[in-house]
Amino acid sequence: MSNKINAEYLIIGSGEVIKNGAVVFEGTKVTYAGESEHAPNADNVKTAVTVMPGMWDCHTHFTGIKSPSLESTVFVNPLEAVIRTTWDVKEMLLSGFTSTREVGGMGIYLNRAISDGIILGPRIYGAGKILSITGGHADIHNLNLDALDVLNHVSGNQLGELVDGVPECYRGVRKQLRSGAEVIKYCASGGVLSEIDHPIHQQFSDEEQKAIVEEASRAQVAVAAHCHGAPGIEAAIKAGVTTIEHGSYLNAELADSMVENGTILVATRYAIEKLFVGAEKMGVPTYAMDKLRGLYDQHREAVKIAIKKGVTIAMGTDMFTTGPDGIFRYGDNALELEYLVDMGMSPSEAIVAATKHSAMTIGKKGVYTGVLEKDFDADLLVLNSNPLNDIKILQNRENITNIVKQGIFVK
């Protein structure tokens, strides 16, 4: 059965808007997107104010942990954790997010249940475990290493995989690909929530980073590099990563280098804002709060520079807790678009970040998704108003009349 939706505003996802447009889809693919007067007929016809591509959040973690601490990921019962995440994926889809790139967590497994139709959720492109050096951002620093090893063996939910040296980097990538990873994630600098490392310091040598990218590229899989500090960002760009996550200490020179190399920035302002306001109440340790305060303003300036310099920016929140009462709340993902507008984007640019540019973060796997064009995935939102006038419209799911994922009306 074919479907047609006529819209006053058809937002393609690449920045183009067609007035009095129509999108036609059959099966899982778009068969026509353009002016409504040239659109073919369809079995089912609807009209709307706006039609746009389904949104993406390209930095999520489905962990099932309730408090924002890295330790919880090894102590949580993995069965309970995975059950809890079913709430997160459903909320995300019903708020207009039809796809997500999950950069560490249980997404690979959730995606299998979602694509079988067992649970509702977005299409998840998962990374499996995050590759980190010993003592790096995805290590749990207050645990004895042998104890961590045991926990990693008994828990199916650990977030990180510790690899050191080029051969282990190859093996780390191969292990994630073996589990079904569709993107690879590693930490090129220290982090905020990890205890003893520093966000400015580079993690992994240049050779190790190149090995990770080289191995992923052989399987045509994109690579995401967590990095805050300039040395890590520089090394990751040189290694040929697809995306830089966070980019807190990005400067004008590095922004130019990202433009030159086609490296994408995933800013994750949402997590920084939410942690800044609410983390202390949630028991986030002093060492993490100090690091967070240190980069709160710095990160905002870095994203502004990236926007001004024309770096390709994709939309990602870095949500990593579960449920309705945590510091983050799946379903609120569209708040990041407001932060992007706040930092200098137009509403149209923020929508491109959450559609076309987000699909680019998974490299070759994202070629036929993210925008409304013929032969692309039929992932779209039907809206009762126009988010180009006010980006906050996307935060209220009452404005989303219908959600279509892979050609199926899920709302």
Binding segment for Zn ion (CB under 5 A), chosen from 6-14, 23-31, 92-100, 314-322, is 314-322
The DSSP line for 54-93 is PEEEEEE-----SSS-STHHHHS-HHHHHHHHHHHHHHHH
The DSSP line for 260-315 is HHTPEEE--HHHHHHHHHHTTTTT--HHHHHHHHHHHHHHHHHHHHHHHHT--EE-
Catalytic residue among 88, 197, 318, 379: 318
* C-alpha span between 20 and 261 (Å, rounded): 37
Residue number of the CB closest to Zn ion reads 318
* C-alpha span between 57 and 396 (Å, rounded): 16
Q: Are strands 243-246 and 222-227 parallel, antiparallel or unpaired?
A: parallel
Binding segment for Zn ion (CB under 5 A), chosen from 177-185, 197-205, 318-326, 350-358, is 318-326
Q: What minimum distance in Å lies between the beta carbon of 65 and Zn ion?
A: 13
* C-alpha span between 82 and 56 (Å, rounded): 21
x-or-dash string of contact with Zn ion, 349-378, rule CB under 5 A: ------------------------------
* C-alpha span between 73 and 70 (Å, rounded): 6
Binding segment for Zn ion (CB under 5 A), chosen from 36-44, 152-160, 181-189, 317-325, is 317-325
Q: What minimum distance in Å lies between the beta carbon of 263 and Zn ion?
A: 17
Tell which one of 139, 318, 338, 379 touches Zn ion (CB under 5 A): 318
Binding segment for Zn ion (CB under 5 A), chosen from 141-149, 311-319, 340-348, 389-397, is 311-319
Q: What minimum distance in Å lies between the beta carbon of 103 and Zn ion?
A: 6
Using CB under 5 A, which residues numbered 119 to 148 contact Zn ion?
none
Nearer to Zn ion, 267 or 354 (CB): 267
x-or-dash string of contact with Zn ion, 185-224, rule CB under 5 A: ----------------------------------------
Nearer to Zn ion, 24 or 275 (CB): 275
* C-alpha span between 159 and 176 (Å, rounded): 12
* C-alpha span between 188 and 131 (Å, rounded): 9
Nearer to Zn ion, 23 or 279 (CB): 279
Q: What minimum distance in Å lies between the beta carbon of 186 and Zn ion?
A: 12
CB 1 within 8 A of CB 24: no
Tell me the site size for Zn ion, rule CB under 5 A: 1
Nearer to Zn ion, 50 or 73 (CB): 73
Terminal Cα distance for the chain, rounded: 17
Contacts 24+ apart (CB under 8 A), 372-375: 372/10, 372/11, 372/12, 372/13, 372/23, 372/30, 372/33, 372/51, 372/52, 372/53, 373/12, 373/30, 373/33, 374/30, 374/31, 374/32, 374/33, 375/29, 375/30
Nearer to Zn ion, 88 or 318 (CB): 318
Nearer to Zn ion, 173 or 225 (CB): 225
User: Please, which residues bridge with residue 101 across strands?
Assistant: 125
CB half-sphere exposure, 187, CA atoms < 13 A: 30
Q: What minimum distance in Å lies between the beta carbon of 319 and Zn ion?
A: 9
Catalytic residue among 185, 274, 291, 356: 185
How many C-beta neighbours within 10 Å does residue 113 have? 16
Assess whether 274 carries a catalytic annotation: no
Nearer to Zn ion, 182 or 318 (CB): 318
Assess whether 185 carries a catalytic annotation: yes
Binding segment for Zn ion (CB under 5 A), chosen from 66-74, 122-130, 290-298, 312-320, is 312-320
Q: What minimum distance in Å lies between the beta carbon of 104 and Zn ion?
A: 6
Q: What minimum distance in Å lies between the beta carbon of 349 and Zn ion?
A: 23
Q: Which residues are catalytic?
A: 185, 318
Query: Using CB under 5 A as the criterion, which residues of the chain lie in contact with Zn ion when the complex forms?
Result: 318
